[in-house]
């Protein structure tokens, strides 16, 4: 049985369990993240499995189930021998720039799966971004598109605009697209009162406001109705406090 067939079998079985058994487990869709590097930040738990007659199938199911049972879990990773599972509160997308945060000095993972990642995310780590001045150089604008965010870590996972200034962050999607959804992760304390501009002008003030976020919730999901078309996406804070943008995904219409 191929890896793809194993994963397909696992998800079909897991969906049936959730529907029949109910309980506190929530149904989720996980996407494979192309990284084998080990990350330590935002670790929730590490579990060692007992021996199983189905070593190539059951660990995927067990690890996904453990992640789904924890409301803070967004990512799970399996060890190369399929004997252990690590769950994380990391927000990781398929554009994860592993050179930035992955550690080759730790035991590598066999595979990681993210429930925050979206299969049609347009953001890549090579896109052109602009922003207001960061608090420190390590909190630069590119941190919001490197594919990984740990909100509970004090390490520089995010762009953070300095205080006492008008803060904004802009990304050039490099083409005109019609967008259905935005996923924006930012500190609850420093991501609020935000206007989202989107359009074809390089002058963000000329682009229409397509949505507003009042009180941030950490993982902010914006479902656009009607859908919006443009190339330049800008997040603009209405306050002069620090401005935190940890990670962004842009999902186009099908």
Mean pLDDT of 158-183: 95
- Of the pLDDT bands very low, low, confident and very high (cuts 50, 70, 90), residue 16 is very low
With 80 as the cut, is the pLDDT of residue 73 above it? yes
* CA dist., res. 27 & res. 190, Å (int): 30
| pLDDT, tens digit, 9 for 90 and up, residues 135-156 | 887 788 999 998 899 988 766 7
Burial class (CB in 10 A: 0-12, 13-18, 19+), 228: buried
Instruction: Give me 53's structure tokens.
Output: 């007659």
With 60 as the cut, is the pLDDT of residue 18 above it? no
With 90 as the cut, is the pLDDT of residue 34 above it? no
Mean pLDDT of 44-50: 87
Specify the pLDDT at position 49.
80
Mean pLDDT of 196-202: 96
Bridge partner residues of 183 (DSSP): 221, 249
- Of the pLDDT bands very low, low, confident and very high (cuts 50, 70, 90), residue 6 is very low
Mean pLDDT of 39-59: 76
10 Å Cβ neighbour count for 156? 17
Burial class (CB in 10 A: 0-12, 13-18, 19+), 127: middle
3-state secondary structure 62-127: HHHHHHHCCCCCCEEEECCCCCEEEEECCEECCCCCHHHHCECCCCCCCEEEECCCCCCCCCCCCC
The average confidence (pLDDT) of the chain is: 83
Specify the pLDDT at position 15.
43
What are the residues whose beta carbons fall under 8 Å from the beta carbon of 27, sequence distance 6 or more?
Answer: 15, 18, 68
Mean pLDDT of 101-111: 68
With 50 as the cut, is the pLDDT of residue 93 above it? yes
């Amino acid at each position: 049985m191929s890896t793809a067939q194993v994963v397909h079998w696992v998800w079909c079985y897991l969906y049936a369990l959730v529907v029949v058994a109910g309980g506190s487990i929530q149904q989720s869709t996980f996407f494979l993240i192309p990284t084998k590097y080990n990350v330590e930040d935002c670790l929730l738990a590490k579990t060692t499995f007992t021996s199983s007659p189905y070593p190539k199938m059951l660990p995927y199911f067990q690890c996904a189930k453990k992640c789904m049972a924890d409301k803070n879990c967004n990512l799970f990773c399996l060890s190369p021998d399929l004997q252990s599972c690590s769950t994380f509160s990391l927000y990781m997308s398929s554009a994860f720039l592993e050179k930035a945060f992955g550690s080759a000095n730790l035991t590598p993972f066999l595979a990681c799966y993210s429930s925050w990642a979206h299969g049609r995310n347009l953001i890549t780590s090579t896109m052109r971004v602009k922003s207001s001045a960061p608090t420190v150089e390590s909190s630069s604008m590119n941190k919001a598109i490197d594919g990984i965010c740990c909100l509970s870590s004090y390490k520089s996972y995010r762009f953070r605009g300095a205080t006492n200034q008008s803060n904004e962050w802009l990304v050039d999607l490099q083409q005109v697209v019609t967008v259905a959804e935005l996923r924006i992760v930012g500190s609850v304390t420093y991501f609020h009162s935000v206007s989202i501009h989107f359009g074809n002008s390089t002058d963000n003030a000329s682009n229409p406001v397509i949505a507003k976020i009042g009180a941030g919730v950490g993982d902010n999901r914006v479902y656009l109705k009607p859908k919006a078309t443009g190339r330049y996406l800008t997040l603009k804070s209405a306050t002069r406090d620090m401005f935190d943008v940890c990670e962004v995904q842009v999902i186009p219409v099908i």
